[in-house]
Structure 1
């Protein structure tokens, strides 16, 4: 069942009822203290919610009870935030203060935190009116069931937050490892000064063309999205695919047919693709033949260069490439910029040892990213199943759901 604030909720389980927000609590405009980010945000204080969410702290509390903050103006109007304890709001928000003996605030937040749920007015600057918030329909289970539903969804949220924290920590470790291994190597005691800083004495400093053959992708046909060029046997990737990859390209969302391939360029496996437009300096290692447009450059390792080590060496160049990129409508770099990049190159055996160590931490990141995606999928299913009563809390085996990553309905007895 699609959530909608405009119409009464139908086909509810026994014991549930449909009601409007105005009947279970108060709706008030946020920003009554006239606080602003520029004048009132401080380092420590009460949480402050703008239309973007909790993004600062202030010296004075506006509310002292659980509430739901609705972003009420702008492109993201309808995004909702949960607040507890003492907190304040800024302009462009509306606040729902449920009566906890009728509707648990966190249950309400899980239901209304869907931008498509709300009725919007305006076009150039969409907004949600207080009247539409008050008249919005919600399903209301008995209070004990609301508490169980909120507790289950909170457990999943906590698992998501914990996994996100592990991923962030892993990325921090990986960044430090890249810097250490790609400039200091493994077990070296003697170093030499170079244009990019100290590197091991046995290493060579080489311009990128001495390390890899650089070839720009291509797509000569205009418009690029002509349907008759797609849907064939040749994998085709663009900058977004590289940015979304986990070091390796193992999947693609588009293919070219023979006509499409004539407009493009196909690269072999074990080539590093580098984004040079919009997203600058993202890299991925190809694992099968792939075609790409001119917003990507392929780096094919020269003799004596290990492909995965080159992947990590180029990954470490992202901050530099972003710094030197030109910007018009979007950021860009070109082959001339890439040709000038200097790479510290160890002997091939050390390249292999370095890439093995970095790959180990990359694998940890990939495993946790996969886990995060599964948890997000689980939550999406639970939101639909629990908030509509399709799956009842008494029949749900949450530990099995989190471990098996199966649809909630399938795990209900």
Structure 2
């Protein structure tokens, strides 16, 4: 888990904004503000060079980090003969089309297209602090863009945009605090990424390889040879389930409150996520839920858009959306294992092989019942489910840490960048990663 980071480590929460704070327009902070351009497509002399050609999607992929790479590269000739422009390290990039007011700082020389402004030559201020101040004012910039016909940010709007500017030593301290939290967020996200990769590898090794087996049988499923442990059996979904409840078709009429209504988006990693819920009235529920009532321990499976997400149902009353099927496994299955099995990449391949539809692929109730699945001994099912669940628990704990750090950063930005909380009387060592920007 990431190191704990707290606002009280850095600031005096009783302080108020100092009179030395001023508001500056970005055109006053930076002596130079220019947009890039796109070299003409199809001209070989312009593309394939060694200068990264940064577009919005490149900036978004490297969000929170310095920009130094891109999907496309241009040549020196493109810089000399077209409207594209190169920006050196330390330049602040700001998106003005599409995804508005996203920022990044150039780490090594790049070129940009016309959707990105480059802001550089800030003689008096710390560019990293300015970047955080712009990020904090992003909603205001977005509202200014809506005052134009095309909902873009023109260079004129950006140059006139005002941000709060404290004395330079305070800027560096504020930037250090926020940079420290950003680094903690990045580390926590890296842990989650590693755990996600471990989880996927664990999933694929346990289903259908099992736990500590040495002997395997070849089983033919939909034209492919699959190896499963010799102690495992195989069956079909139809034979495995004591009941299958299908509510696919159309959705019921929703209401502002009432009984929760589950949709595809409420299934995530074998769990029901009670966020972004729709609701139905009690009357609608009684009219709608006539094909069978789901029970605690049933598996909820999405049959399209996306296909193959599965979760164990908790003990609660809810209605079901289209594209969802309830599977009630028989006594030969552990409920948790069955849900993990039905959502596994191994079984997903069978869904895809049996799916129909041209625009959106989905699996019908009939084809779903014909899907072949392995049946490990009960004790091994429980062990597999436990291993997967324990890994998911660790992922969830670390995701909560990422969320905590992001909430902390939002609070710090609001307090520090408004001057409500100051670092003036706090000793903060400014690292070179911050000091290099002014």
- Calculate the TM-score normalised by the size of structure 1: 0.81
Aligned length, in residue pairs: 378
Following superposition, the deviation at residue 136 of structure 1 comes to 0.7
Partner SS state of residue 373, structure 1:
helix
Does structure 1 residue 280 correspond to structure 2 residue 310?
no
Unpaired segments of 5 or more residues in structure 2? 1-15, 60-69, 77-85, 429-438
Aligned Cα root-mean-square deviation (Å):
3.1
Asked if the contact 1:60/1:88 (under 8 Å) is kept, the reply is: no
Equivalent residue for 2:332?
304
- Identify which range, 131-140 or 283-292, moves more after superposition: 283-292
Q: Distance in 2 between matches of 1:22 and 1:155?
A: 28
Which of 294, 297, 301 is residue 270 of structure 1 equivalent to? 297
CA separation of 1:215 and 1:370: change in aligned 2, threshold 3 A: same
Deviation per residue, 1:309-368 (Å, 9 max, x gap)? 112111213465457655566453332342232211101111011111111211111111
Q: Distance in 2 between matches of 1:221 and 1:314?
A: 24
Following superposition, the deviation at residue 187 of structure 1 comes to 2.3
Following superposition, the deviation at residue 27 of structure 1 comes to 4.4
Q: Distance in 1 between matches of 2:43 and 2:304?
A: 34
Which of 228, 232, 254 is residue 199 of structure 1 equivalent to? 228
Does structure 1 residue 15 correspond to structure 2 residue 15?
no
Following superposition, the deviation at residue 251 of structure 1 comes to 3.2
Q: Distance in 1 between matches of 2:155 and 2:236?
A: 61
Equivalent residue for 1:102?
124
- Larger strand proportion of the pair: 1
Partner SS state of residue 304, structure 1:
coil
Asked if the contact 1:216/1:298 (under 8 Å) is kept, the reply is: yes
Structure 1 outlier segments of 4+, above 6 Å: 35-42, 395-398
Q: Distance in 2 between matches of 1:377 and 1:360?
A: 26
Asked if the contact 1:45/1:57 (under 8 Å) is kept, the reply is: no
Deviation per residue, 1:20-57 (Å, 9 max, x gap)? 00111034333357387997776x95554212233436
Q: Distance in 2 between matches of 1:134 and 1:51?
A: 20
CA separation of 1:216 and 1:38: change in aligned 2, threshold 3 A: farther
- 1:23-62 mapped onto 2 (5 Å cutoff): 23-31=28-36, 34=39, 47-54=52-59, 55-56=70-71, 58=73, 62=86
CA separation of 1:35 and 1:270: change in aligned 2, threshold 3 A: farther
Equivalent residue for 1:146?
171
Equivalent residue for 1:188?
213
Does structure 1 residue 164 correspond to structure 2 residue 179?
no
The one of the two structures with greater contact order (alpha-carbon pairs below 8 A, sep at least 6) is: 2
Asked if the contact 1:69/1:82 (under 8 Å) is kept, the reply is: yes
Deviation per residue, 1:207-246 (Å, 9 max, x gap)? 1222233322368666x33x3xx523x332212221xx45
Equivalent residue for 2:392?
362
Q: Distance in 1 between matches of 2:35 and 2:41?
A: 12
Unpaired segments of 5 or more residues in structure 1? 1-10, 399-413
